[in-house]
Structure 1
Amino acid sequence: MRAGRPPGRHRRAEGHATYREVIALREFRALWYGQGLSLLGDQLAQVALAVLVYDRTQSPLATAAVYALTYLPSIVGGPLLAGLADRFARRAVMLTCDLIRAALVAAMAVPGMPFWALCALVFLVVLLSAPFSAARAALLPEVLEGDRYVIGSAIQNMTNQAVQMLGFAAGGAMIATMGPYRALAVDAATFLGSALILVSGVRRRPAASHDGSRPSMWTMTRAGARLVFGSRNLRTLVLFAWLCGFYILPEGIAVPYAAKLSTGTLFATWTLSVPVITGLLMAAMPTGTVLGAFLFSRFVPPPRRLRLMGWLAMLSCAPLIVTALYPPLEVVLAAWVLSGVGGAYQLAANAAFVQQVPAERRAQAFGLVQSGLMAVQGIGILVGGFAAERLGPEPVVALAGFIGLICAAVLALLWTEPRERVPATA
Structure 2
Amino acid sequence: MRTRRLLGRHRRALQRQATYGEVIAIREFRALWYAQGLSLLGDQLAQVALAVLVYDRTRSPLATAAVYALTYLPTILGGPLLASLADRFARRGVMMTCDLLRAALVGVMALPGVPFPLLCGLVFLVVLLSAPFSAARAALLPEVLEGDRYVVGSALQNMTNQGIQMLGFAAGGAMIATIGPYRALALDAITFLGSALILVIRVRPRPAAAREGARGSMWAMTRAGARLVFGDRKLRTLVLFAWLCGFYILPEGIAVPYAAKLSTGTLSLPVVTGLLMAAMPTGTAVGAFFFSRFVTPPRRLRMMGWMAMLSCLPLVVTALRPPLAVVLAAWFLSGVGGAYQLAANAAFVQCVPADQRGQAFGLVQSGLMAVQGIGILIGGFAAERLGPEPVVALAGVIGVTAAAVLAILWSESRVETPARA
TM over 0.5: yes
Report how far residue 6 of structure 1 moved: 12
Q: Which residue of structure 2 lines up, in the alignment, with residue 360 of structure 1?
A: 355
Q: Which residue of structure 1 lines up, in the alignment, with residue 31 of structure 2?
A: 30
Q: Which residue of structure 2 lines up, in the alignment, with residue 63 of structure 1?
A: 64
Structure 2 counterpart SS, 1:70: coil
Could you tell me how far apart the structure 2 residues matched to 1:6 and 1:32 are? Answer: 31
Contact 2:215-2:221 at 8 Å conserved across structures: no
Structure 1 counterpart SS, 2:208: coil
Could you tell me how far apart the structure 1 residues matched to 2:109 and 2:293 are? Answer: 42
Could you tell me how far apart the structure 1 residues matched to 2:175 and 2:83 are? Answer: 33
Could you tell me how far apart the structure 2 residues matched to 1:367 and 1:175 are? Answer: 33
Q: Which residue of structure 1 lines up, in the alignment, with residue 122 of structure 2?
A: 121
Q: Which residue of structure 1 lines up, in the alignment, with residue 387 of structure 2?
A: 392
Q: Which residue of structure 2 lines up, in the alignment, with residue 275 of structure 1?
A: 270
What are structure 1's unaligned runs of at least 5 residues? 264-269
Could you tell me how far apart the structure 1 residues matched to 2:37 and 2:276 are? Answer: 23
Q: Deviations over 1:45-101 (max 9, x none)?
A: 000000000000000000000000000000000000000000000000000000000
Could you tell me how far apart the structure 2 residues matched to 1:385 and 1:393 are? Answer: 8
Q: Which residue of structure 1 lines up, in the alignment, with residue 254 of structure 2?
A: 253
Could you tell me how far apart the structure 2 residues matched to 1:9 and 1:318 are? Answer: 37
1:401 to 385, 396, 401: 396
Q: Which residue of structure 1 lines up, in the alignment, with residue 365 of structure 2?
A: 370
1:156-175 correspondence to structure 2 within 5 Å: 156-175=157-176
Report % sequence identity: 82
Could you tell me how far apart the structure 2 residues matched to 1:324 and 1:246 are? Answer: 15
State the AA in 1 paired with 2:303. L
1:297-336 correspondence to structure 2 within 5 Å: 297-336=292-331
Q: 1:118 to 1:343 in 2, by over 3 A?
A: same
1:136 aligned onto 2:137: yes
Q: Which residue of structure 1 lines up, in the alignment, with residue 154 of structure 2?
A: 153
Q: Which residue of structure 1 lines up, in the alignment, with residue 3 of structure 2?
A: none
Farther off after superposition, 213-222 or 326-335: 213-222
Q: How many residues align?
A: 412
Structure 2 counterpart SS, 1:209: coil
Q: 1:319 to 1:116 in 2, by over 3 A?
A: same
Contact 2:242-2:341 at 8 Å conserved across structures: yes
Q: Deviations over 1:118-168 (max 9, x none)?
A: 000000000000000000000000000000000000001111111100000
Q: 1:9 to 1:133 in 2, by over 3 A?
A: same
Q: Which residue of structure 1 lines up, in the alignment, with residue 332 of structure 2?
A: 337
CA RMSD of aligned residues (A): 1.7
Contact 2:139-2:361 at 8 Å conserved across structures: yes
Structure 1 counterpart SS, 2:409: helix
Q: Deviations over 1:289-315 (max 9, x none)?
A: 000000000000111000000000000
1:82 aligned onto 2:83: yes
Report how far residue 217 of structure 1 moved: 1.0
Report how far residue 209 of structure 1 moved: 1.1
Contact 2:247-2:312 at 8 Å conserved across structures: yes
State the AA in 2 paired with 1:326. R
State the AA in 2 paired with 1:258. A
1:188 aligned onto 2:183: no
Report how far residue 418 of structure 1 moved: 2.2
Contact 2:15-2:296 at 8 Å conserved across structures: no
What are structure 2's unaligned runs of at least 5 residues? 1-5
Q: Which residue of structure 2 lines up, in the alignment, with residue 267 of structure 1?
A: none
Q: Which residue of structure 1 lines up, in the alignment, with residue 212 of structure 2?
A: 211
Contact 2:234-2:414 at 8 Å conserved across structures: no
Could you tell me how far apart the structure 2 residues matched to 1:82 and 1:101 are? Answer: 16
State the AA in 1 paired with 2:122. L
